[in-house]
């Protein structure tokens, strides 16, 4: 079993509910969304407040996401219950020789206090660039595409909007699609890590996949495996390989796994009001074509016409039961491959995917490999931490690279965000 150890709180915390904490893709900072209409930016070097972004939204800030691949500045998208999406910008690497983009984090004294001058100067560095107006109700989630050119937003109004950043120097965004197939509040959107494919989860209990075809965005799959609201989605890292600690010659296993999963691509992780955490994989188009053309062997013509856009997504696994109430968030580490989940029961759960070998295979389970040589995996619950934020519900969890003085290369942190306004930082000991 692994251990989840509390490292620090991010201080000072919000006095109102916090919804989500977004780690920056390259800098050791995070942005936390709060019901007090602000976004707080904290350092992961000393876990103290760098700046507070205010003035953009009139109601709770529910969600935030950092734009990837920016050079020289940080760009943050925020979504609010006031039905708007804000775009914020700040120049990086000001006043620091090492180029980390952080000034206030290490200019305070040993107890983390900063001067009023630094507070004021840091506040002025954030520029409210543009307000994206289109949704009719609360914005629940925002997500940047892998290229950083597209921003997806979703809302209680049942719609998903895709905006293109024209990157013309004037902060202009263009609406490229509005999708309205969901039958309820859309809770989350998440872009595929390498493809321009968008996943969404909803109050209608479904997960939907969206792609662009002939300059028009449309639904390519609808997954109906959950029996409750789909609260959150996260994608597998494109280079992820399950744990091979129990398998010899792990290098060979890794290459075999990548070859085996290349056509399907990264899997999708979901969590729900039904208290389950599930993994989904895409059936390769080649497999579909093969099954549809198998009629050639029987001599009976197939009435199924293969389409260019529709995809088949199948349940890959249901993770071991760990939660007694709704699961609000999941996070699939791109570094370790570990999965974390949090929810209404105030519990943090950690799961590890492992290769199944003949040594650890259940003798009562029949081998269905039929000599095909395919690698098989199982998910194991490796840690549970109860009452992680006292009596409060945990709304979000995220993995981030560790950057404080106690860090070693390759270490990572788990960050949890809760109803009492606190954001806690954890390490995982395996």
Residue at 321 is within a domain = yes
Residue at 270 is within a domain = yes
> What is the predicted pLDDT for the residue at 306?
40
Residue 113 token pair: 């206090």
Residue at 430 is within a domain = no
> What is the predicted pLDDT for the residue at 54?
93
* DSSP E strand stretches across 196-288: 197-202, 207-213, 216-223, 230-235, 268-272, 277-282
Residue at 323 is within a domain = yes
SS3 state of residue 115: coil
Q: Is the dihedral of CA 319, 324, 326, 328 positive or negative?
A: negative
Question: How far apart are alpha carbons 101 and 70 in whole angstroms?
Answer: 12
Residue 69 token pair: 């691949």
Q: Is the dihedral of CA 385, 339, 394, 22 positive or negative?
A: positive
Which own/partner pairs from 364-368 qualify as long-range (CB within 8 Å, at least 24 positions apart)? none
Smallest CA-to-CA distance from 150 within 177, 182, 185, 181 is with: 177
Phi and psi based region of residue 187 (left: phi greater than 0; alpha: psi -120 to 50; beta: remaining): alpha
> What is the predicted pLDDT for the residue at 103?
56
Residue at 5 is within a domain = no
Residue at 44 is within a domain = no
Residue at 336 is within a domain = yes
DSSP state of 48: B
Stretches in the chain below the pLDDT threshold 70: 93-124, 245-251, 286-308, 358-372
Q: What is the CATH number of the domain that holds 230?
A: 2.130.10.10
Residues for the chain: how many in total? 430
Q: How many domains does the chain have?
A: 1
Instruction: Name residue, tokens 């003949």.
Output: 358
Boundaries of domain holding 352: 226-288+312-356+372-386
> What is the predicted pLDDT for the residue at 359?
57
Phi and psi at residue 58, to the nearest 5°: -100, -10
- Over residues 249-294, the pLDDT tens digits come to 556 888 999 999 999 999 999 999 999 999 999 999 765 455 444 4
> What is the predicted pLDDT for the residue at 107?
31
**Chain-centre distance of CA 47, in angstroms?**
21
Question: How far apart are alpha carbons 181 and 93 in whole angstroms?
Answer: 43
As a whole number of Å, the end-to-end CA separation of the chain is 7
Residue at 279 is within a domain = yes
Contact yes or no for 160/210 (Cβ under 8 A): yes
């Amino acid at each position: 079993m692994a251990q989840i150890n509390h490292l620090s709180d991010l201080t000072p915390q919000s006095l109102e509910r916090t919804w989500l904490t977004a780690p920056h893709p390259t800098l050791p900072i995070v942005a936390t969304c709060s019901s007090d209409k602000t976004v707080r930016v904290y350092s992961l070097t000393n876990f103290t407040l760098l700046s507070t972004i205010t003035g953009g939204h009139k109601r709770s800030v529910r969600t935030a996401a950092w734009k990837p691949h920016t050079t020289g500045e940080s760009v943050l998208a925020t979504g609010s219950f006031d039905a708007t999406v804000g775009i914020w910008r700040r120049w990086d690497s000001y006043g620091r020789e090492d180029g980390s983009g952080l000034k206030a984090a290490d200019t305070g004294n040993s107890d983390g206090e900063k001067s009023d001058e630094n507070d004021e100067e840091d506040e002025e560095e954030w520029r409210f660039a543009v307000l994206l107006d289109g949704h009719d109700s609360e914005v629940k989630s925002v997500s940047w595409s892998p290229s950083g050119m597209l921003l997806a937003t979703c809302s209680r109004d049942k719609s998903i909007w895709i905006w293109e950043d024209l990157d013309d120097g004037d902060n202009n965004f263009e609406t490229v699609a509005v999708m309205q197939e969901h039958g309820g509040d859309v809770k989350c959107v998440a872009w595929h890590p390498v493809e321009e494919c968008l996943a969404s989860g909803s109050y209608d209990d479904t997960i939907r996949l969206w792609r662009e075809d002939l300059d028009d965005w449309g639904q390519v799959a609808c997954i109906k495996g959950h029996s409750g609201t789909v609260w959150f989605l996260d994608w597998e890292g494109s280079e992820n390989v399950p744990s091979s600690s129990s398998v010899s010659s792990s290098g060979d296993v890794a290459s075999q796994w990548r070859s085996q999963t290349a056509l399907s691509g990264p899997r999708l992780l979901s969590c729900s009001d039904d208290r389950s955490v599930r993994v989904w994989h895409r059936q390769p188009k080649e497999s579909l074509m093969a099954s549809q053309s198998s009629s050639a062997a029987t001599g009976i013509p197939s009435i199924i016409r293969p389409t260019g856009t529709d995809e088949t997504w199948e349940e890959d696994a249901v993770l071991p039961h760990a939660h007694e109430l709704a699961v609000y968030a999941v996070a699939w580490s791109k570094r370790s491959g570990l999965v974390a989940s949090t929810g209404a029961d105030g519990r943090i759960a950690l799961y590890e995917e492992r290769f199944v070998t003949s040594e650890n295979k259940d003798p009562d389970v029949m081998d269905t490999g039929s000599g095909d040589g395919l690698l098989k995996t199982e998910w194991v619950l490796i840690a549970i931490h109860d009452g992680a934020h006292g009596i409060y519900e945990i709304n979000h969890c995220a993995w981030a690279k560790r950057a404080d003085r106690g860090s070693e290369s390759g270490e990572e942190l788990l960050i949890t965000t809760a109803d009492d306004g606190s954001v806690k930082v954890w390490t995982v000991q395996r």
